[in-house]
Chain A
Amino acid sequence: METTAPLLELHHVAKRFGGIQALSDIDFDVRRGEVHALVGENGAGKSTMMKILAGVIPDYEGEMVWQGRTVRLKNPRHALDLGIAMIHQELSVMPELTVAENIFLGRQPLSGGVVDWPRIFREAEAILAELGFAHVNVREPLERYPLGVHQLTEIARALTSGAELIIMDEPTSALSPMETRHLLELTRNLARAGKAVVYISHFLEEVTWVADRVTVLRDGRKIATLEAGATDKQELVRLMLGKEAAFFEESYMGGRTVVDRHAASEPVLVVEGLTRPRTFTDVRLELHPGEILGLYGLIGSGHFELGEAVYGLLKPAAGRILLEGRPVGVGPRRAIDRGVAYVPPSRRTGLFLEKPIYQNVTLPWLAQISGLVPQIPREVAVTDEVIRRVGVRPPDPLKEVVFLSGGNQQKVAIARWLVEPPKVFVVSEPTRGMDVGAKEEVMKILRELSQAGVGVLLISSEPETVLAASERILVMAKGRIVREFVGETVTKEQLLHAAAGELAEAR
């Protein structure tokens, strides 16, 4: 297959952060016309490696060769000038600016020396339409739109950059299956047009579908580079984890049988006729103790907002939310005290990145753990226990969250609520950005909680996540609950159909 010389090569690249060897002795290459996937556990070093390619990390050991010439990137501008664009895992958008401008960040087109606004708007509309987001008004500030649109603007930015090499670091983590599918096709088209793409994802299905070659990283080392056609998910997982592992996606691939074992018990949470303009309409549901209720919907269907409402963050215009028969009231504090726990869909929203893990974990529980005067050793001990339970790596309560890899940050957000098991646990996208192993761990935790009597409301736009643990599944679309699956075998396709009607197809 040595038709072309590699567009880019890495030789013996290594990088350490303080005490952590994030990468060691990496050899890697990307060719024109290929999609090269990069997989590995959380913290394996994928993002670090790509940041070196994109000029974000200028101090590393080893050599980088671009189009046959050795280069040493100084900064992102340098990389962009060479033709390397990156979609970052941690969204790097500017919510205050318009959607259009976010797409043209840093390279606003000029005409006659001045910024050509009409062209910006025109082209932004065109590319979003191509990505299936024609309904977005590109003249509005990005902050008016949900996370998926934020991610999309980043993708659009990279796609329109004209770069030779486009790096996508978990580009689909906030996208719905249709949008993902659009993106994957676009990605293939890019490769066909002679560009090179490095594609990072924890969705091995996407990887095997889109990639020509796959490189597996583990603990900062390259384990293997394989032809995508000559491998399968099992092999990839084995290489990633370094062992045979129960592979949770398998558990539902044939569909998941949902059974409602709790219908007889008193519901712990009752939502009645909940309505809020532009958000949701007449939503009703019941959650029983010990039950895991899946709530599936496409981005923008109101399911995340429903979670917020249960936690007291959104005031409904009509309807009631009853916890053990009494209204939950307004504000997170009351919700927490009444036994509601909540994980928001975006970890950035819920975490204090610059603060140590233990402060992130214990903040809701300061009163319980240590009364008026915080006692740090007790906080640390409590934190140590819960982060070990969810498998945060490294399990050091004193470490600042910002130094954890993306997936491990997400685990911290969940670990917080294990300090005092809640009565109702509302989790939105609990496994976003997690590797296959970690996803399974989180699902295990949710199952354990439910077995201990916690009612879990599992909200997601990833069918896999909902299918992995739910005992009953509700589907929301356009702010309404459109379907309930109970006592039957549900497949991903069914979920998609229910959520989007005829639009849905398997990806």
Chain B
Amino acid sequence: MGKPDLSRRKFMIQSALASMGIVAGPAFLQTVRAAEGKNRPLKAAFSNAGLQATWCAQGKDTVEQWGEWLGVEIHWYDGQLDVAKQRAAVDAMAAKDWDFVAIQSLSIGSLVEPVQKMIDKGIPVIAMDTMLAPWGKIKQHTFIAPDNVWMAEQVTQALVDAIGGKGNIVMTQGSLGHTGAQGRAQGFYNVVKRYPDIKVIDESPADWDVAKVAQLWENLLNRYKKIDAAFFHNDDMALAAYHVIKNAGRENEIVLGGIDGMPPAVQAVLDGKLHATARNSSARIHWGALVAGYYAAMLKEQPGKDIPEFILADGPAILPPSKEKTDKPWLLKGYGIGAGPGLLWQEKHFLA
């Protein structure tokens, strides 16, 4: 990818700020420009759950692109999907000096000590996706995250609508100990409990493991002759299950929904394989963290004063284009077109 020209870069920054709900006054822009001129690249450290996960990989690419645009040197500390390994990585991170750091914790509370050490050194620490510690236990700079409950509610609602409010539904969970999964389960229940004719027939966890999903779903297909809908805690699991379901020739019977809105899943929605996914914007959270860190480092934004303690990285459910034909498209969700293609474009350009 070639270097974008200056005006485009400005556009990017502005749209970034706008979409984060921060009113960017001219004074701010002036300072930002001045900072650009300063020529000292910022040094930032990021840690994520594990690059084996598509969501994290997408975030890393985003941060690197935006870091290049903003002149921030990024150092990556991979958690390798293992609490102890992430702790060691963040311990190593804390032994160095940074302009700011951003961390997606694998497990709430497991990184408190090194994070506290960095905060004590005056380094702004931005939490991404998962809380670093229960509220109040740590003075992080801000927390940028999706709303798991809400995303799950949207997708579940879409599934329930699609099957007409009654039938057998399956929820395939992530790992039971994962707070994101717990939020998604909560959102699922919030919706289904309002429909007495919906029966939850299975809610086994598959630990985010696609091989386990295949196994579990072969068994479910055998055990239940009628499954109307299935909600998955992420898209990877939904797509793996789709494959098994299709092999069993039951893809028309079961309506599937996932969460994350990663490109393959969005494409699957467009192709009609999945009925819905929710945008859990990896790119958005990551560049959001980068920009927040940038402001903290360059303009000394103070936590709780200049920047709120929580920034929602919201995302709508991605549904297929409406089948209704109407000359009043403004009355339909997403103008009847569906958010998919637009989202794909944004993802390709590290925006969402």
Q: Do chains A and B touch in the complex (CB under 8 A)?
A: no
Taking Cβ atoms with an 8 Å cutoff, the residues of B that contact A are none
**Which positions in A face B, CB cutoff 8 Å?**
none
